[in-house]
Amino acid sequence: MDLAVSARPRWVVYGSSLSAERVRWAPWRACGGSWVAALRGARPDLEIVNRSGWGWTSRDAVRAFGPRVLALRPAGVILEFTINDADDRRHCSVEDSAANLETMLRAYAAAYPAGRAVVLLPPAPLGRHALARPRLETYADAWRRALAAHHAVVVDLDAAWTAQFGADPAGESVRRPDGLHFSRAVADWIAAVVGAVLRSANRS
């Protein structure tokens, strides 16, 4: 299959509510995807389409990968689902999570061999959200191993977050008011971190 023919390469963001910009059926739901809007502003040379789903795990993502992502013929994809996979209430094992990522990466590479795949690993949540995800780092490690085998690129937002904000824990009430979702206060910063990785991915 051919990539989308466009004056601007099309990138699809495919993740959880950390990447979703809004929930059409429940506009009151918290979403953390203001960084995607900021990325559009920072990278007008790219067409950035957001196909993220509130509450989605990689299990949901695999089922809808064809119509929601592959059908758009993207030049690149950004995948982000560990935050919900790691939620003990969702019953998605580490092994299944990694296998789901590999399924998506294989499908994308088979459809678009020239495409670029990026995986975003979010920072550890706080409070009750952290209690529900005691093995988030184990899931992140499994995704790191899986993406390395498929030549995907990682946005380690967890490491970048700690380096940037680790000395200011009090500021988390502004950056993530509910302890999980990113606020507009950090949208530009996240967009800059992701944008830097996209530039690297396009050069490789």
**Mean pLDDT on 148-163:** 94
CATH label of the domain that carries residue 47:
3.40.50.1110
174 C-beta neighbours (distance < 10 Å), count: 12
**Mean pLDDT on 182-200:** 93
pLDDT at 203 exceeding the cut of 70: no
Tally the domains of the chain: 1
Task: For residue 187, give its domain range.
Answer: 10-203
Residue 105 lies in a domain: yes
Assigned token pair, 191: 């967009």
Q: What DSSP line would sit under 105-139, residue for residue?
A: HHHHHHH-TT-EEEEEEPPP--HHHHHT-TTHHHH
Q: How far apart are CA 9 and CA 95, in angstroms?
A: 33
Query: Residue 118: pLDDT band by 50, 70, 90 thresholds?
Result: very high
Which of 40, 48, 51 has the alpha carbon at shortest distance from 4? 48
Which of 38, 29, 36 has the alpha carbon at shortest distance from 15? 36
Residue with tokens 């790219």: 46
Q: Are 122 and 18 within 8 A, CB to CB?
A: yes
pLDDT at 186 exceeding the cut of 60: yes
Q: Which strands form 47-50's sheet, in the order they lie side by side?
A: 47-50, 10-15, 76-80, 116-121, 153-156
Residue 71 lies in a domain: yes
Of residues 55 and 3, the one with the higher pLDDT is 55
Each residue's pLDDT tens digit, 55-75: 999 999 999 999 999 999 999
Residue 1 lies in a domain: no
Each residue's pLDDT tens digit, 8-41: 999 999 999 999 987 665 554 567 899 999 999 9
Prediction pTM value: 0.93
**Mean pLDDT on 119-130:** 97
**pLDDT of 159:** 97
**Mean pLDDT on 44-49:** 96
Residue 5 lies in a domain: no
**pLDDT of 100:** 98
**pLDDT of 23:** 62
Phi, psi of 50 (to 5 degrees): -105, 115
Residue 180 lies in a domain: yes
**pLDDT of 71:** 98
Residue 67 lies in a domain: yes
Each residue's pLDDT tens digit, 65-104: 999 999 999 999 999 999 999 999 999 999 999 999 999 9
Helix (H, G, I), strand (E, B) or coil at 81: coil
pLDDT at 5 exceeding the cut of 70: no
Q: How far apart are CA 1 and CA 75, in angstroms?
A: 11
Q: How far apart are CA 43 and CA 155, in angstroms?
A: 17
Q: Are 179 and 126 within 8 A, CB to CB?
A: yes
Query: Residue 125: pLDDT band by 50, 70, 90 thresholds?
Result: very high
Q: Are 147 and 86 within 8 A, CB to CB?
A: no
Helix (H, G, I), strand (E, B) or coil at 79: strand
